């Protein structure tokens, strides 16, 4: 598929998920007997519509989401006497809460479906692999090299060392009988607790024999490995000056990048993955303020930090690149993750988000309960007019952040490569 087609498919996926968000509100409202008069995809002038029962369904000109109109959602709208009985505010608190959170619940359900499909087809990207810190990991051997490349010779994409060639020294770890899964305990009697300590100890040891103590299947063993000299840059500085160090020819055991599941195991895995994505979403939102200066830097021409927030345009672009390079797992992970983000973000207790409306109706209930306890009259519904300045401020803030991320995604987009 082409990049453009991938962008279009991803953008349509986002649009459909937002429309289904509103469908969640509509279906739950109708289930409880509330009156819903409109359900539209898009905003602006109406392009096409039809009426079924008391609800008008249709499509509007601006494909930027959708909306559903439920009678009596806020005190700002007038409700006719004949509709008063079925107005939103007339229904029990739990039913109103369900209707308000149904949109976010729809996003979580969509994400679970997307992750399930990914789990049984392409697999799921392992969150643990993305946050894995090699140097602080336990000194458990992952791979044992057949040789040690004498110089700092990398393969074409610079992702790893070149393949072994005749004349390259045999890997000391392999010659010493070490295997994947062995946990190093000590080197020449020096205790080893992290992979960083193992690397530092091996590098600083002179070439030649060293005594390695390790655990295999819970049993302590020892062996002798003959370290060989090679040329490497400093740890953590791949572009630093090369220096002569000793090498043993192993890598650390790291989590798999992709997790694969059967059809039966994929269901709980998808739910677990939604939970993991929710956790990551909160972490991303928490760190968002620190990313704003980096967005301005990116707009100014500096290298774009891949951890900075993206707009719908940026997400669609990355989705298009995933399709173009044949990486459906990245496409599905991004689409599912975006649904989780929208679901979580929409529950924040701020107007005009659904979470803001939930906070208000629960505040009204708490205030009424306290008034009854004190023998005072029910204060009634919250005056939304007093909340309008705060609502406009929140909308202005969200609009500014959207414009900022949109500009960065146009001027200096994040790329998969």
Show which residues are catalytic: 22
Query: CA angle at residue 187 from 186 to 189, to 5 degrees?
Result: 70
Reported residue count of the chain is: 417
Hey, which residues does 140 pair with through a beta bridge? 183
d(CA 415, CA 409): 10
What would the 3-class secondary structure string for the chain be?
CCHHHHHHHHHHHHHHHHHHHHHHHHHHHHHHCCCEEEEEEEEEEEEEEEEECCEEEEEEEEEEEEEEEECCCCCCCCCCHHHHCCCHHHCCHHHHHHHHHHHHHHHHHHHHHHHHHHHHCCCEECHHHHCCCCCCCCCEEEEECCECCCCCCECCCCCCECCCCCCCCECHHHHCCCCCCCEEEEECCEECCCHHHHHHHHHHCCCEEEEEEEEECCEEEEEEEEEEEEEECCCCCCCCCCEEEEECCEEECCCCCEECCCHHHHHHHHHHHHHHHHHHHHHHHHCHHHHHHHHHHHHCCCCCCCCCCCCHHHHHHHHHHHHHCCCHHHHHHHHHHHHHHHHHHCCCCCCCCHHHHHHHHHHHHHHHHHHHHCCCCCCCCCCHHHHHHHHHHHHHHHHHHHHHHHHHHHHCCCCCC
d(CA 182, CA 214): 6
If you search the block for the tokens 């608190």, which residue do you land on?
A: 93
* Maximum pairwise Cα distance, the chain: 93
């Amino acid at each position: 598929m082409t990049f453009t087609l991938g962008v279009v498919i991803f953008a349509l996926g986002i649009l459909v998920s937002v429309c289904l968000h509103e469908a969640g509100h509509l279906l739950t409202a109708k289930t409880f007997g509330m009156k819903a008069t409109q359900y539209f995809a898009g905003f602006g002038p109406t392009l096409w519509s039809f009426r079924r029962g008391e609800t008008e369904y249709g499509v509007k000109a601006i494909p930027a989401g959708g909306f559903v109109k439920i009678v009596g959602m806020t005190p700002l709208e007038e409700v006719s006497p004949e509709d008063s009985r079925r107005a939103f505010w007339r229904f029990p608190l739990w039913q109103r809460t369900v209707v308000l959170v149904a949109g976010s619940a729809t996003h979580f359900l969509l994400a679970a479906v997307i992750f399930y499909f990914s789990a049984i087809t392409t697999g799921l990207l392992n969150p643990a692999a993305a946050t894995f810190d090699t140097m602080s990991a336990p000194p458990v051997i992952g791979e044992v090299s057949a040789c040690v490349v004498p110089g700092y010779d990398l393969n074409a994409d610079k992702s790893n060392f070149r393949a072994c060639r005749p004349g390259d020294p045999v890997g000391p770890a392999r010659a010493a009988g070490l295997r994947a899964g062995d946990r190093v305990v000590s080197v020449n009697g020096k205790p080893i607790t992290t992979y960083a300590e193992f690397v530092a100890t091996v590098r600083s040891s002179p070439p030649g024999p060293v005594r390695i103590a390790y655990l295999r299947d819970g049993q302590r063993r020892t062996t002798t490995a003959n370290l060989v000299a090679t040329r490497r840059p400093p740890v953590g500085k791949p572009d630093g000056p090369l220096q002569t160090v000793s090498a043993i020819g192993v890598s650390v055991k790291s989590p798999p990048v992709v997790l694969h599941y059967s059809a039966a195991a994929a269901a709980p895995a998808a739910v677990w993955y939604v939970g993991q994505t929710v956790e990551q979403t909160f972490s991303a939102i928490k760190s968002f303020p620190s990313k704003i200066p980096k967005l301005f830097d990116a707009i100014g021409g500096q290298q774009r930090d891949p951890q900075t927030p993206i707009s719908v345009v940026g997400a669609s672009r990355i989705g298009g690149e995933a399709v173009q390079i044949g990486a459906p797992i990245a496409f599905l992970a991004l689409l599912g993750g975006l649904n989780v983000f929208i679901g979580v973000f929409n529950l924040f207790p701020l107007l005009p988000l659904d979470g803001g409306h939930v906070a208000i109706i629960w505040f009204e209930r708490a205030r009424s309960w306290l008034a009854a306890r004190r023998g005072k009259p029910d204060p009634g519904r919250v005056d939304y007019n007093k909340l309008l300045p705060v609502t406009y401020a929140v909308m202005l803030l969200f609009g500014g952040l959207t414009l900022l991320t949109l500009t960065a995604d146009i001027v200096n987009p994040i790329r998969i490569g």
